[in-house]
Structure 1
């Protein structure tokens, strides 16, 4: 742990108080009871831009102004909003490059935070194209490219999360759980706390950038990645962030399936009324991976963001049910005769509900292929249903976990 870094993070935190208050550190009784520990949530989803990203943007700008008056970033999400917010605060110009495919809601929020101080440029179908355009613009215009994570000032700014945790708790917690994308938050937190506590770093299975970097001794491109957990879907850990994380224990890195993360999103919304984006729910879902280690301990989960588009809610609910084994999709070969459908319906249990029924095609003169979606209230109901289908002579294919096929028909 570097004393200079500590002092820098503390100074950055104090300076932030002129712009926004500390985000709450709240004990969660529901999670504490479940895991037999004192579970606190560091609510970065309650910052002015609903994520911690404005911290790094603030710290970088306060140090680089007046040498730089134009700041550029490439982002389709939280970093763009943080940069926009701070450009408006400092009264400097911001040029924010976003992919053409960025949802309108994110574009509008970025413009709202930045106002007249920013310009949004939609470039490229993929982020790599957007990034290249942003960097080319910087080279031509002499503007400062503000990385979302691989920047020393940004890392120091993100460390303010750790400063606030220690201040609010009155001590260092026993264990902290951190979501990882490019590594800015986790690098800053580790650099500030050092070895004073235990760590768990959480990544989505579809973007294991920290795990790959530790395995290979250097940042490693893990493309192609799954972008569902967009706030943590980074193909390559930053070089500067890796320098602060390279001594992390590989056993402290956990990977969670994207569908599994949806379970915590739904639970926190329904039980606690807390709106979290997928990356923001990573640390909470990871509690299940360290349950034996944290009993009786004080644990902080950083809920890194709450920029959730509610148009995604049906997909998130379905993915959560799919992970929990409460919904399945299969293609049924249904005989084309009177009473065949009635025979099938008679095999359903009292808690089995058809959520999707669609004729796909006639595979033969006497048979038709049907896409069936069934939701139930207990995972154990499906084996009984499939046994009944087998005994009745129905032919079917379970496509629930066939990602290639499911993306076309579900």
Structure 2
């Protein structure tokens, strides 16, 4: 959808010198604290690379967003304070605005998507108290932004932008100011999580003004990479969809001002997947005994990927742990996917003959390795299919296992990077059905909220039979469904038209090799 325009304070092109001046004078420490820059000895040893963690999860609102929100609101004049402010946020910016409103005595209306984690919604109400009204609207930040635009036009509130505002950027830039003050020695790079770009723009501009030799590298998720695509295109682009796992950085369009600053000052961008983020969440926990949210671990995931690609440096690398507002239920998903993200688990579908000694040969191929998951179902009178997870120490070990299986005469599919297998098939190994004729297999995503699954089912067309269905609540902000639908070949065009009207992201998995092996007749 197209975002409704919101009226913010006009901002001209911001020079590095002006941003440096604003950063030094930013009013953030009335409410924010200078957070620790801590060594990560376990990670440093494992990577062969000195790693430092900038602990913005230690802020009163458990996120860096307080810095920019307070700095912006502290500069409002008397008339603007009297009218009040409005903000749209998935959660962390909302908490910063709420606490700032409470401290400054300014009324605030904060619009959050219905899908925002409950821990963040409750925190906004707690931090803001009587000064803050929370409005829940829509399924995404863009929906919340549109609702905020309508309320702003109606009441004349001042909009506190989450990232595309000079005062907000200067407030976030104080994170970079602290890093350089806390570590005056050599640094190789600072890794920064990116959504709309406020933190990256501020940190990059500040560091490059004082220490141009230090690399500043932004990190985004593969499914919410608006800044990566914008920098590649040379202008801000708008994504049609964004992934919701790292909700704190799920932004369809970066800011004009943040883009311009990132284009000038950022050295490189890294994209990471969900498994890498889950592994980084576990890394932070092992180092600090705190649990960051997915966006909070994003920078560390990027740092690890950068080291794997470019090699280690003698100088430290810094990852900004940007927030820790995580719904507890989401830990189930994080724990399940962290092993794959750390390349400590490989997942395979292995076909063995239904004959004496086959299972013994299968165990011999594993060569004393630990099994993390095992699902078995007889496939026919002649063969059986096994879905198996195996503990590994590095990615190359997957090839060793594949060769071992094949040397014993077994067919093997490597499913370690197969999203369908990891999300759904591992929970539903049960063989194929001769009744599932003309079956098409699709994956869908929808915003996870009360009644969402029922609404999804209500949209399914009654003329086609559902032959397979899998849904598992992972404690995340969006639901994932696998659906098998029996559609005669002469109705495929009609089915495609139906998909186009659903309004949910989908992916055709009908030719997925794991599905064809394990579930297709």
**TM-score for both structures, normalised by structure 2:** 0.68
How far the C-alpha of 1:357 sits from its partner, in A, is: 2.9
Once residues 395 and 290 of structure 1 are traced to their aligned partners in structure 2, the CA distance between those partners, rounded to angstroms, is 34
In 2, are the aligned partners of 1:280 and 1:306 still within 8 Å (CA)?
A: yes
Equivalent of 2:235, from 210, 218, 222?
218
How far the C-alpha of 1:51 sits from its partner, in A, is: 0.9
Does residue 74 (structure 1) correspond to residue 91 (structure 2)? The answer is no
SS in 2 for 1:16: coil
In 1, are the aligned partners of 2:402 and 2:412 still within 8 Å (CA)?
A: no
Equivalent of 2:271, from 232, 255, 260?
255
Once residues 342 and 38 of structure 1 are traced to their aligned partners in structure 2, the CA distance between those partners, rounded to angstroms, is 45
SS in 2 for 1:84: helix
In 2, are the aligned partners of 1:166 and 1:172 still within 8 Å (CA)?
A: no
How far the C-alpha of 1:202 sits from its partner, in A, is: 1.9
Once residues 339 and 154 of structure 1 are traced to their aligned partners in structure 2, the CA distance between those partners, rounded to angstroms, is 67
SS in 2 for 1:41: strand
Unaligned runs of 5+ in 1: none
In 1, are the aligned partners of 2:186 and 2:315 still within 8 Å (CA)?
A: no
Aligned to 1:306: 324
> Which stretch of structure 1 is more off in the superposition, 251-260 or 109-118?
251-260
How far the C-alpha of 1:50 sits from its partner, in A, is: 1.0
Aligned to 2:389: 374
Once residues 394 and 28 of structure 1 are traced to their aligned partners in structure 2, the CA distance between those partners, rounded to angstroms, is 43
1:319-372, Cα deviation, whole Å (9 max, x unpaired): 22223443344556688899987886676543332535376xx876x5898673
Unaligned runs of 5+ in 2: 1-14, 427-521
Aligned to 2:334: 316
Once residues 317 and 34 of structure 1 are traced to their aligned partners in structure 2, the CA distance between those partners, rounded to angstroms, is 20
Once residues 318 and 422 of structure 2 are traced to their aligned partners in structure 1, the CA distance between those partners, rounded to angstroms, is 37
Once residues 302 and 388 of structure 1 are traced to their aligned partners in structure 2, the CA distance between those partners, rounded to angstroms, is 41
Aligned to 1:42: 54
Q: 1:341 to 1:303 in 2, by over 3 A?
A: same
In 2, are the aligned partners of 1:333 and 1:367 still within 8 Å (CA)?
A: no
Q: 1:321 to 1:217 in 2, by over 3 A?
A: same
Once residues 95 and 150 of structure 1 are traced to their aligned partners in structure 2, the CA distance between those partners, rounded to angstroms, is 19
- Structure with larger RCO (C-alpha < 8 A, sep 6+): 1
Once residues 129 and 136 of structure 2 are traced to their aligned partners in structure 1, the CA distance between those partners, rounded to angstroms, is 17
How far the C-alpha of 1:153 sits from its partner, in A, is: 1.6
Aligned to 2:425: 409
Once residues 84 and 401 of structure 1 are traced to their aligned partners in structure 2, the CA distance between those partners, rounded to angstroms, is 41
Once residues 346 and 36 of structure 1 are traced to their aligned partners in structure 2, the CA distance between those partners, rounded to angstroms, is 34
Aligned to 1:57: 69
How far the C-alpha of 1:290 sits from its partner, in A, is: 4.9
Q: 1:338 to 1:135 in 2, by over 3 A?
A: farther
SS in 1 for 2:74: helix
Aligned to 1:19: 31
**TM-score for both structures, normalised by structure 1:** 0.84
SS in 1 for 2:111: strand
Aligned to 1:350: 368
Equivalent of 2:226, from 196, 209, 219?
209
In 2, are the aligned partners of 1:321 and 1:327 still within 8 Å (CA)?
A: yes
In 2, are the aligned partners of 1:87 and 1:94 still within 8 Å (CA)?
A: yes
1:33-72, Cα deviation, whole Å (9 max, x unpaired): 5666654332111111111101111011111143234222
Aligned to 1:186: 200
Does residue 96 (structure 1) correspond to residue 113 (structure 2)? The answer is no
In 2, are the aligned partners of 1:42 and 1:303 still within 8 Å (CA)?
A: yes
